Amino acid sequence: MKSIRMALAQVNCTVGALAQNRAKILSQAQAAEKNGADLVLFPELALCGYPPEDLVLKPHFIDAVQKELDTLCEELPSELVCVLGLPLAGKNRPQNAAAVIYQGKVIASYAKQQLPNYGVFDEQRIFEAGTEPLCLQIGEARLGLHICEDSWVHSEEDARRFSDMELTALLNLSASPFHREKVSERQAVLQKTSAAVNAPLAYCNLVGGQDELVFDGGSLVISPRGEILCQGARFKEDLVFVDLPCTHLKDASDKAEILQIPSGKRSANLKALPPVKKPKAMDELEEVYAALTLGLRDYADKNGFQEILVAISGGIDSALVAAIAVDAVGADRVSGISLPTQYSSEGTRSDALQLATNLGIKMPMLPIQHLFDAYKDLLEPQWPGRGPDVTEENLQARIRGTIVMALSNKFGSLVVATGNKSEMATGYATLYGDMCGGYALIKDVPKTMVFDLCRWSNTQQGSERIPQTLIDRPPSAELRDDQKDSDSLPPYDILDGILRLYIEQDKGRDEIVAEGFDPHMVTRIIRLVDGNEYKRRQAPPGVKITPKAFGRDRRVPITNHFRPTPPPTPIPHD
């Protein structure tokens, strides 16, 4: 065998859907064999889905995974080597492992050695780390194994060991979630590892949405010089093939960690692979839009929601959410609702109607002024002598929240909240009001990017799908007369700059001020962020698209008296 044909099966698996995942794995393996592959590589924990979190701590879950593995071994093409990610029982805790399946049985397994414990990852809590390397010898091809983080934090000893083995390729089973700028970071790490082991690196990444995470695929084979030999699609399933030459190898019969596998029964008349067509590079806005679309689609579909409901105000946030929802599941599965009060302007009402028409979705308009008046009549005797304040503003949002959740109960629809990251950071949102919903799609999207994504969407459509008047109008919650966001918050380009430094880069007040921001403004924004953790803790999940999102990525206490600024005035819980 002068070369080995490998297939990278970039699949969209669902956590816990063991039989469904098994069927998908089998289908891809059969397609790989049909196209002459000697080996098919699947992503990390593909059989159970990623991240399984505490499911793997349940012994009966591991037993169920083992039963599906036993069935899969019987079904897979016997002469195809399958390298599959799954949890396997360890000595004390389960292991994040790769099973090597050949001729109807698991002939070897490898356990992930570097368990990430940062950001969205907490694998050290649930998995037991492996300690032994594994290398496969398939005919004249020699292949080392890594699982995701192993290629990020490999030791010099590990790199030297594989380099001495004269690998044909290093295989990496991965579940690497998306965020902005991740692709270049990922490719740099993989190229560095490929150079360290002096062999191409075949990297198979998961694709699909899982709660707050989106996996973007982009599986690839990269050379030690950084040349991409083949690459899978982004944000969708793909089966990628590559032929790698087998170099003359030193005898390895004395190396116990090299597993010998027969060369199989490849046809001598195997057709050559077509020339590699690398996917078109995606710019940042295209990537983010694709991640949001995939994340919403998979959250709705994997959780059994047939319809998505969006409260459309005529503002830019709900417009973007509605547009993405239509792109995610189709207009026939999306409904809008407009719930104006006396403070809703004619401009926002007409823009909401125009948006619904442009998107092709139904959107009843149900004025709620009479409900708002009834609440005030009921409550005002309870606070005699107190004038209107934020209480009345939030009351409108909470009436709307009650209505959309009632419709969700009646029709089983998924209510998608429309708050953005700038609002979530500063608390410019109402608990049990506009924060109501099962999914907060753009909770990690800064307001400035919301505008950019709306313009990008219109450019892609070649029309004002999202009305330009809506984009141009100064943002407003429209909960009182002549209200604008700028009454309560600094301009969004300034706000988002401060938030990026404080939240995503963990900069302190003085460091942020040194970047050129007004000291009083920085102090005020930090106080708002720190004082509104209680709100964010109660927000629905949403797609992670920045390097540090609220939720799994950033965990700070609600009751927290540490302040890098002078003591703040307490913020009322609204």
Q: What is the mean pLDDT of residues 454-464?
A: 94
Q: How far apart are CA 242 and CA 226, in angstroms?
A: 16
Put residue 235 in one of left, alpha, beta given phi > 0 → left and psi -120 to 50 → alpha.
left
Q: What is the mean pLDDT of residues 547-554?
A: 90
Domain assignment present for 425: yes
pLDDT given at position 335: 96
pLDDT given at position 574: 59
Domain assignment present for 554: no
Contact 509, 522 (CB under 8 A): yes
Q: What is the mean pLDDT of residues 489-517?
A: 94
Boundary residue ending a domain (215, 238, 266): 266
Among the residue ranges 230-244, 360-374, 480-494, 528-542, the one predicted with the least confidence is 480-494
pLDDT given at position 486: 75
Of 17-26, 480-489, 550-559, give the range with the top mean pLDDT. 17-26
**What domain range is 318 assigned to?**
285-483
Q: How far apart are CA 212 and CA 296, in angstroms?
A: 10
Domain assignment present for 520: no
pLDDT given at position 570: 55
Among the residue ranges 363-367, 456-460, 527-531, 552-556, the one predicted with the least confidence is 552-556
Sheet with 201-205, strands from edge to edge, namely: 228-231, 220-222, 201-205, 169-174, 141-147, 135-138, 258-261
Residue 530 predicted with pLDDT over 90: yes
In a 13 Å sphere around the CA of 356, the CA atoms on its Cβ side amount to 21
Q: How high is the mean pLDDT of the chain? A: 91
- Assess whether 194 and 322 both reside in one domain: no
Contact 111, 97 (CB under 8 A): yes
Q: How far apart are CA 434 and CA 431, in angstroms?
A: 7
Cα 246–chain centre separation: 37
- Assess whether 192 and 295 both reside in one domain: no
Contact 100, 109 (CB under 8 A): yes
Single out the residue of 332, 338, 327, 289 nearest to residue 307, CA to CA: 332
In a 13 Å sphere around the CA of 194, the CA atoms on its Cβ side amount to 25
Residue 249 predicted with pLDDT over 80: no
Q: What is the mean pLDDT of residues 121-140?
A: 91
Residue 330 maps to which CATH number? 3.40.50.620
Please state whether the peptide bond connecting residue 43 to the residue before it is cis, i.e. omega within 30 degrees of 0.
no
Single out the residue of 370, 293, 367, 302 nearest to residue 334, CA to CA: 293
pLDDT given at position 546: 94
Q: How far apart are CA 458 and CA 463, in angstroms?
A: 6
- Assess whether 185 and 257 both reside in one domain: yes
Put residue 166 in one of left, alpha, beta given phi > 0 → left and psi -120 to 50 → alpha.
left
Q: What is the mean pLDDT of residues 223-239?
A: 94
* Bridge pairing between strands 105-111 and 308-311: unpaired
Q: How far apart are CA 203 and CA 220, in angstroms?
A: 5
Total domains present in the chain? 2
Domain assignment present for 386: yes
Catalogue the active-site residues: 44, 112, 148
pLDDT given at position 551: 86
| Per-residue tokens: 287 | 């990537």
Boundary residue ending a domain (441, 463, 483): 483
- Assess whether 70 and 216 both reside in one domain: yes
Among the residue ranges 182-186, 308-312, 334-338, the one predicted with the least confidence is 182-186
Residue 157 maps to which CATH number? 3.60.110.10
pLDDT per position as a tens digit, 133-164: 999 999 889 999 999 998 888 777 777 888 88
Q: How far apart are CA 424 and CA 446, in angstroms?
A: 9
Q: 496-503: long-range contacts at Cβ-Cβ below 8 A with a sequence spacing of 24 or more?
A: 496/422, 496/446, 496/447, 496/448, 496/449, 498/522, 498/525, 499/421, 499/422, 499/425, 499/426, 499/446, 499/525, 499/529, 500/446, 502/526, 502/529, 503/425, 503/529, 503/548, 503/550, 503/554
Amino acid (one-letter) located at 234: R
pLDDT per position as a tens digit, 337-351: 999 998 888 888 899
- Assess whether 127 and 246 both reside in one domain: yes
pLDDT given at position 475: 78
Domain assignment present for 166: yes
Reduced to 3 states (helix: H, G, I; strand: E, B; else coil), residue 469 is helix
Buried b (16+ CB within 10 A) or exposed e, 45-56: bbbbbbbbeebb
Among the residue ranges 74-83, 138-147, 222-231, 256-265, the one predicted with the least confidence is 256-265
Residue 425 predicted with pLDDT over 70: yes
- Assess whether 254 and 333 both reside in one domain: no
- Assess whether 65 and 128 both reside in one domain: yes
Residue 550 predicted with pLDDT over 70: yes
Contact 355, 458 (CB under 8 A): no
Residue 441 predicted with pLDDT over 90: yes
Domain assignment present for 565: no
pLDDT class for 1, splitting at 50, 70, 90? low
Backbone phi and psi for residue 153, each to the nearest 5 degrees, phi listed first: -125, 35
Domain assignment present for 377: yes
Which residue stretches of 431-566 are H helix? Answer: 447-461, 468-472, 492-499, 509-514, 519-531, 533-537
Boundary residue ending a domain (266, 294, 321): 266
pLDDT class for 267, splitting at 50, 70, 90? low
- Assess whether 58 and 150 both reside in one domain: yes
Residue 477 predicted with pLDDT over 80: no
- Assess whether 7 and 135 both reside in one domain: yes
Q: How far apart are CA 461 and CA 359, in angstroms?
A: 11
Domain assignment present for 43: yes
pLDDT per position as a tens digit, 45-70: 999 999 999 999 999 999 999 999 99
Sheet with 308-311, strands from edge to edge, namely: 334-337, 308-311, 414-417, 439-440
Backbone phi and psi for residue 365, each to the nearest 5 degrees, phi listed first: -110, 115
- Tracing tokens 């929240």 back to the chain, one arrives at 401
Which residue stretches of 304-362 are H helix? Answer: 316-329, 346-359
- Assess whether 361 and 472 both reside in one domain: yes
Q: How far apart are CA 433 and CA 144, in angstroms?
A: 53
- Assess whether 165 and 307 both reside in one domain: no
Residue 105 predicted with pLDDT over 70: yes
Reduced to 3 states (helix: H, G, I; strand: E, B; else coil), residue 534 is helix
Q: What is the mean pLDDT of residues 400-412?
A: 95
- Assess whether 399 and 476 both reside in one domain: yes
Q: How far apart are CA 130 and CA 212, in angstroms?
A: 28
